[in-house]
């Protein structure tokens, strides 16, 4: 993943040097929402929170662009809102801020130019590689608590049958999405966009594997870890599934972007692309 990001960035820098920054640059702001899919939520567009960010596009032609984005949002879920009796009784919840920095390609379905009303609208598809910073938390007695250091499923404790290391708060993800962009006037455009993020972690929500034995978790990480590991309303769940370790978590950003082309000269004019 790091090698691919490096190659993509080097390609972008070479394009900038060859074509000239002013000829193809486009910048904008984003506002919308974010949500997650995982062990505590399986429905799209549920429990979304406000998100915002910015975008830089470098237009290679009327059909292809390099895009760099920075998004900030929040995701959350609560078993108290779940209609499944088992999950309702599990009684877990979390929230996490997500900071995402991504670089990738945007491919237009039709010819499009932000500086020309002759080509004013197009659907598009994008794919990127991203760095994301996560940090799942919960509340207990009115206090916000970070979940990772507690090792709620025995991470980092050496307890038999659990993972040896704490999961990382720094993750690589793969954003994929679709959108439509249209000119409001020459050099000013709006985009409506929806994208999902494939992650390589099942701990965005701090829930993945089995419950661990309470006395072992207390001995290893203290009583707070045990209290937040098993918050079930009834029954002893020790040793059975707390989550589904076979499925990775996802998250999504969706919203509207307003972009402008700050410089008049266009790379399509320079090369005669139409």
Q: What's the total number of domains in the chain? A: 1
Residues 47 and 38 sit within 8 Å (Cβ to Cβ): no
Q: Is residue 141 in some structural domain?
A: no
Beta pairing partners, 225: none
The set of residues, in sequence order, having a beta carbon less than 8 Å from that of 192 and lying 6+ positions away, is: 179, 180, 181, 255, 256
Q: Is residue 185 in some structural domain?
A: yes
Per-residue model confidence as pLDDT tens for the chain (274 residues): 555 555 555 555 555 444 454 567 899 999 999 999 999 999 998 889 999 999 999 988 889 999 999 999 999 999 999 888 888 989 999 999 999 999 999 999 999 988 888 889 999 999 999 999 999 999 998 899 999 999 999 888 877 665 678 899 999 999 999 999 999 998 899 999 999 999 999 999 999 988 888 888 999 899 999 999 999 887 666 557 889 888 999 999 999 999 998 876 554 444 444 4
CA nearest to 191, candidates 253, 244, 122 = 122
Residues 20 and 268 sit within 8 Å (Cβ to Cβ): no
Radius of gyration, alpha carbons of the chain: 22
User: What was the pLDDT predicted at 194?
Assistant: 98
**Tokens 């999950």 belong to residue:** 87
Q: Is residue 42 in some structural domain?
A: yes
CA nearest to 61, candidates 130, 122, 129, 10 = 122
Residues 57 and 26 sit within 8 Å (Cβ to Cβ): yes
Q: Is residue 74 in some structural domain?
A: yes
Q: Is residue 21 in some structural domain?
A: yes
* Alpha-carbon distance values, 118 to 113, 121, 122, 263, 268 (Å): 8, 9, 12, 19, 13
The set of residues, in sequence order, having a beta carbon less than 8 Å from that of 31 and lying 6+ positions away, is: 50, 51, 52, 255, 256
Distance CA 193, CA 177 (A): 7
CA nearest to 128, candidates 192, 174, 191, 72 = 174
Q: Is residue 119 in some structural domain?
A: yes
* Alpha-carbon distance values, 59 to 91, 239, 263 (Å): 48, 54, 13
pTM: 0.85
Q: Is residue 221 in some structural domain?
A: no
Q: Is residue 174 in some structural domain?
A: yes
User: Three-class SS of residue 207?
Assistant: coil
Question: Which residue segment(s) compose the domain that 82 sits in?
Answer: 2-134+169-208+243-271
User: What was the pLDDT predicted at 274?
Assistant: 46
> 51: domain CATH number?
2.40.160.20
Q: Which tokens go with 218?
A: 């207390």
* Alpha-carbon distance values, 188 to 31, 165, 191, 261, 262 (Å): 16, 49, 10, 7, 9
């Amino acid at each position: 993943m790091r090698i691919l990001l490096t190659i993509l960035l080097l390609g972008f820098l070479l394009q900038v040097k060859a074509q000239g920054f002013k000829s193809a640059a486009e910048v904008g702001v984003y506002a919308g929402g974010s949500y997650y899919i995982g062990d505590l939520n399986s429905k799209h567009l549920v429990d979304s929170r406000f998100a915002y960010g910015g975008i830089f596009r470098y237009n290679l032609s009327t059909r292809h662009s390099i895009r760099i984005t920075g998004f900030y949002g929040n995701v959350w879920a609560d078993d108290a809102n779940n209609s499944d009796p088992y999950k309702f009784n599990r009684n877990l919840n979390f929230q996490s801020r997500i900071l995402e920095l991504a670089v990738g390609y945007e491919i237009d379905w039709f010819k499009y130019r932000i500086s020309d009303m002759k080509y004013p609208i197009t659907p598009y598809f994008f794919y990127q590689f991203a760095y994301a910073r996560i940090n799942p938390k919960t509340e207990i007695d009115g206090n916000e608590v970070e979940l990772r250091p507690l090792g709620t499923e025995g991470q980092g404790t050496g307890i038999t049958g659990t993972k040896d290391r704490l999961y990382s708060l720094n993750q690589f993800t793969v954003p994929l999405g679709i959108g439509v962009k249209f000119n409001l006037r020459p050099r000013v455009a709006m985009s409506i966009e929806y994208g999902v993020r494939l992650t390589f972690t099942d701990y965005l929500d701090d829930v993945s594997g089995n419950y661990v034995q309470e006395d072992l978790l207390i001995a290893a990480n203290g009583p707070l870890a045990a209290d937040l590991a098993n918050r079930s309303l009834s029954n002893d769940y020790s040793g059975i599934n707390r989550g589904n370790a076979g499925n990775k978590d996802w998250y999504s950003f969706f919203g509207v972007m307003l972009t402008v082309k700050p410089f008049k000269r266009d790379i399509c004019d320079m090369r005669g692309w139409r």
